[in-house]
């Protein structure tokens, strides 16, 4: 069992090291943070979506913005597309591919921003949401695994974690990127919290 624990930690460490060594990783997180900050400063809203563990990450991202991350401050407009009533209605009436795009159609406005999360970069419903966003003046930031995925190529900014045999390693990079994005947003909008 100890060997399995060590193997898992070392594998995780190696993936993070590769992510850090890729200059694009740092640049893409910085560009994504600036995009989110610009949307929030203009009074626009942030949306996020993903499936399974990526939906949990999308929810975590949104609640850290609308709630708080480290210290108390004003709430920020952020929503994860995760309402079960909406999802089951749209999946039943239109198809599962439309669960996120339909929500954006109903709620999102030009100059809003979408964080679209897919470890494979090929989730059809997340791609459809990104396409709707692009077609309607909504900025798209994607969190993906491999580079040059269908989702990543649609995005204004793609933060790709790198290839891995299993999604959990990619998700570990995603949650780190999410936390950094939230911190950068707070540092810019609430500098008094980071003296």
Residue 152 is predicted with a pLDDT of 97
Residue 195 is predicted with a pLDDT of 83
Residues 166-178 have pLDDT tens digits of: 899 999 999 999 9
Neighbours of 60 (CB within 10 A): 17
Mean pLDDT over the full length of the chain: 97
What residue ranges do the domains of the chain occupy? 2-194
Which of helix, strand or coil describes residue 47? strand
- Closest C-alpha to 46, from 78, 81, 80: 78
Q: Where are the alpha helices (DSSP H) in the chain?
A: 2-21, 23-41, 53-66, 84-93, 99-107, 124-135, 150-154, 167-189
| pLDDT over 90 (residue 188) | yes
pTM: 0.96
Residue 153 is predicted with a pLDDT of 97
Query: Is domain 2-194 given the CATH code 3.30.300.20 in the classification?
Result: no
Name the band, by pLDDT with cuts 50, 70 and 90, for residue 155. very high
Residues 66-100 have pLDDT tens digits of: 999 999 999 999 999 999 999 999 999 999 999 99
Which residue, chain included where needed, has tokens 């919290």? 193
Residue 178 is predicted with a pLDDT of 98
Residue 165 is predicted with a pLDDT of 82
């Amino acid at each position: 069992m100890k060997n399995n624990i060590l193997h898992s930690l070392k594998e995780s460490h190696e993936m993070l090291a590769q992510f850090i060594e890729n200059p694009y990783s740092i640049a893409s997180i910085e560009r994504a943070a600036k995009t989110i900050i610009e949307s929030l400063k203009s009074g626009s809203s942030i949306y996020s979506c993903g499936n399974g563990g990526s939906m949990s990450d999308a929810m975590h991202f949104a609640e850290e913005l609308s709630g708080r991350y480290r210290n108390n401050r004003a709430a920020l407009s952020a929503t994860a597309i995760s309402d079960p009533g909406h999802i089951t209605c749209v999946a039943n009436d239109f198809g599962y591919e439309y669960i996120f795009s339909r929500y954006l159609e109903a709620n999102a406005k030009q100059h809003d921003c979408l964080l679209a999360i897919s470890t494979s970069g090929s989730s059809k419903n997340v791609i459809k949401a990104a396409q709707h966003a692009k077609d309607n003046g909504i900025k798209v930031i994607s969190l993906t695994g491999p580079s040059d995925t269908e989702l990543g190529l649609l995005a204004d900014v793609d933060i790709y974690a790198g290839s891995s045999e299993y999604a959990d390693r990619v998700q570990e990079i995603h949650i780190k990127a999410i936390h950094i994005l939230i911190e950068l947003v707070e540092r810019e909008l609430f500098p008094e919290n980071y003296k």
